[in-house]
Chains A and B, each alone.
Chain A
Amino acid sequence: MLTYAPVDADQGVIQKIFYVHVPLAIVALGGFIAGGVMAIMYLRTRDRRWDMRSYVTIHLSIVLAVGVLITGSIWARASWGHWFVWDEPMLVVFLIVFLLYATYQPLRFSIEDPDKQARYASVFAITAGAFVPLCFGAVRMAESVTHPPTATMTTSSPGTVTLTFLVALTGMTLLFITLCKYEMASKNVSATVRRLRRRLAGDDDQLSATGRSAAPQL
């Protein structure tokens, strides 16, 4: 990525942050939408595992979104001279989407009943998941010239750029999926451990307090 792709003529080396920033953004937004789809699956099947998947996907997408905002700020500072540019709709919309999803964890945390928590979080995930494409559609409508949309940029760029970008995107997607699998496995293991420990202690009460948590309980 650093040596293979050509150095941008007027932005210099800093343009290479593109290969991190854009895949991060695409994967984060995809994760938000996927979280909404998994929430639909939860409401249809009432299978707790779908709620868990939705939670993990959105949780990791929020982490990636923080990365998008940081790398985006660095890039904006280097190429436009400001950390944040308000007349750039792409940035503003991403900030709005991030602020919306930042309430996902507090929302879950403030509902105690696990069933209700799963149901309400799913409704939120579906609403917010539909909000994401709507917002970006509106941005495409009010197209701006300063932020080159990724699709047109890759078609008019040399092949090496496209190839590097696609490799970076694939890598980011795979990283995201791996992280999801890891978090899911960790959640499953700790749920099993808790169950076993409870059985060892001779405590049959399934509802005994495990502490309130924003994460779904399996």
Chain B
Amino acid sequence: MRATVAALLGKELALELRTRESVPAMVLFAVTTYVIFHFGLDRNTVDGDLAAGVLWVTLLFAAILGINRLFVADHEQGGFDGFLLAPVDRTAMLVAKAIALLAFLGAVELVAVPAFGLLLLGPSLGQALPELLVVLLAADVGIAVVGTLVAALAIQTRARDLMVPLLALPLLVPVVLGASQATAPLFERGGAAALPGDWLSLLALYDLLFALIAYAVFDFLLED
């Protein structure tokens, strides 16, 4: 199992490094969205819950782009067939894809979060950084797991690009809720307040539950 996951993950990362298809597009999308928010809200700086909302909506929509592309190469170039022919546990695909998506999200946030601090955020990013990293990790795990499940569900449909956001956005509402509620006090103008633990535990519970669901149902999506 571990060797399979490592092999699949290596393939995903090598593919992304060579084609540079998802991550640069997600980063560009995120930065453009900040510009859109600047004009849409007519604000030069944001703080508090507005800042948290802008950051999380941007990251969520950028993640949707990556989720849309997640299985496209496997679908179009026979990656599924190759994987199904191999005598390996099918859950390995879920784990590898989720870790790959998590890595993509991390790479995007490496640029998108400092860009947010530069372009829009009123209070300095440094004051919030350690706690923000915890929230980012908890939310990214949820987005990665649900995103992988939704991507695998939508890849076989004809209207794939339409199904992914329609399926993923309602499912990810709790993540956005928990993440922006947990982030809002970190972006307060008067200095970061404490990280609210109950919202963080909601995120953790969501991650755990959807990881279990995805583990239970993912095999049925890879049966042909």
Interface residues of A, Cβ cutoff 8 Å to B:
43, 96-97, 99-100, 102-103, 106-107, 110-112, 116, 119-120, 122-124, 126-128, 130-131, 134-135, 138, 141
Contact = CB atoms under 8 A, between A and B. Distances in A.
Interface in B162-200: 162-163, 166-167, 169-171, 173-174, 198
Given A116-B156, A134-B174, A126 B167 contact: no
B170 A130 contact: no
Interface of B: 149, 153-154, 156-159, 162-163, 166-167, 169-171, 173-174, 198, 202, 206, 209, 213-214, 216-217, 220-221, 223-224
Given A123-B217, A123-B220, A130-B209, A99 B159 contact: no
Given A103-B163, A107-B157, A123 B221 contact: yes
Contacts of B198: 141
Given A107-B157, A119-B220, A123-B153, 11 more contacts: A96-B173, A103-B167, A103-B170, A106-B163, A119-B223, A120-B156, A126-B213, A127-B214, A130-B209, A131-B171, A134-B174
B173 A110 contact: no
B220 A141 contact: no
A127 B157 CA distance: 17
Contacts of A116: 156, 224
B212 to A, nearest CB: 9
A107 B156 CA distance: 10
Contact of B159 (A96, A102, A110, A120): A110
Nearest to A100: B170
B165 to A, nearest CB: 10
A100 B167 CA distance: 6
A23 B89 CA distance: 44
A13 to B, nearest CB: 35
Given A107-B167, A119-B220, A124 B153 contact: yes
Contacts of A112: 158
A103 B166 contact: yes
A106 B162 CA distance: 10
Given A100-B170, A110-B159, A126-B217, A141 B153 contact: no
Contacts of A141: 198, 202
A122 B220 contact: yes
B163 A127 contact: no
Contacts of A124: 153, 167
A127 B149 contact: yes
Given A123-B220, A126-B213, A127-B213, A111 B149 contact: no
Nearest to A102: B166
Contact of A100 (B171, B213, B220): B171
A119 B206 CA distance: 24
A99 B166 CA distance: 8
A29 B184 CA distance: 32
A198 B11 CA distance: 49
Contact of B158 (A103, A110, A127, A134): A110
Contacts of A126: 213, 216-217
| Complex A-B, nearest 5 residue pairs according to Cβ-Cβ distance, in ascending order | A100-B170, A110-B157, A103-B166, A110-B158, A110-B159
Contacts of B206: 134
